[in-house]
Structure 1
Amino acid sequence: MNTRTNSGTDFTPIDQDLYAAAFRRLDPDPTPEPAATAAPAAPTAPTQAPLIAVQPARLTGPVEKTLTDALAFLDTHGWTRYSLINTEGARCSIGALRAAAGARNTAYCDAGNLLLDEARRQHGKKWQTIPSWNDSHSGAQVRSVWEAAIRRAHHMNI
């Protein structure tokens, strides 16, 4: 590409008055720029608030609540083996489930089934009842099963 530049160009000089007149026609009543310390002007048109995606509230299911309450009961009153309730008030796993459920209702049965299923997952298929599994394991092993059962109930939304 060839570009020629001469010291004597054919450009017309800018007429500042012409530009000023043109801008006055476009904006006949210009407002001065706000000062740096001035408060921002209120918007003239109503603005719409941005939409925020809100996750729907998730309700705790009855099985998850029963398991969570039973584990909290064990944390508060203590855990034991070989008895439903010992002399200090500590309970075994089935005793904690009964205390949390208040009755042998559907949530109690489903929570017990889920707890036993998780015990079998972690400690083998040989366990037929919660008391037999509870009495054969340490407190840390029992707690691990409780926590996993609560997570499963949460993910299953039951």
Structure 2
Amino acid sequence: MNTRTETGFTPIDPDLYARAFQFLDPAPEPAAPALPAAPAQVPLTAVPPVRLTGPVEKTLTDALAFLDTHGWARGTLIHPEGARCSIGALRAAAGARNSAYCDAGNLLLDEARRQHGTKWQSIPSWNDSHTGAQVRSVWETAIRRAHHLNI
């Protein structure tokens, strides 16, 4: 048998692969000196501002909830079954004829005049001359106005 052991290949440098990989994946550069960590910045808008319900808005909201619970009436302050007219609901919600009661009544009457004309001189006369849906619309709009005015 005649086997040649010489291949004729050029011998290679054993560190050739190591140098090639250094070109592909160079060693990281020395890190810059660490700076002191800055304190965490908390954005000022992270927490929404707290908005408190004003006394007029609360009185109007409570009065409408009273009407929803006990019923709405016309022609009487308090119906024998517990329903009330708008002024009766305001009185029940306010608990007394205080400034919130007066301001809520003025706002309610003003909204009634906006929606149904300026001829209404009092809440009872307006309440007794309109449907439940019309009265409710005035209540809801007055509550939104009180909320917008933050009163």
* Structure index of larger Rg: 2
Match of 2:66 in 1: 73
| TM-score normalised to structure 2 length | 0.76
CA shift digits 1:54-100 (9 cap, x unpaired): 32010000000000000000000000001000110000000000000
Match of 1:103 in 2: 96
Letter in 2 for 1:94: I
CA–CA distance in structure 1, aligned partners of residues 42 and 26 of structure 2: 35
Letter in 1 for 2:99: T
Quick one: which of 120, 123, 134 aligns to 1:141? 134
Structure 1 alignment gaps of length 5 or more: 1-14, 29-44
Query: What displacement does 1:24 show?
Result: 3.7
Matches within 5 A, 1:21-60: 23-24=26-27, 26=29, 48=40, 51=43, 53=45, 54-60=47-53
CA–CA distance in structure 2, aligned partners of residues 57 and 144 of structure 1: 28
Quick one: which of 58, 62, 66 aligns to 2:55? 62
Quick one: which of 125, 147, 151 aligns to 1:154? 147
RMSD: 2.7
| TM-score normalised to structure 1 length | 0.73
Instruction: Kindly report structure 1 stretches of 4+ aligned residues shifted beyond 6 Å.
Output: none
**2:76 matches 1:83:** yes
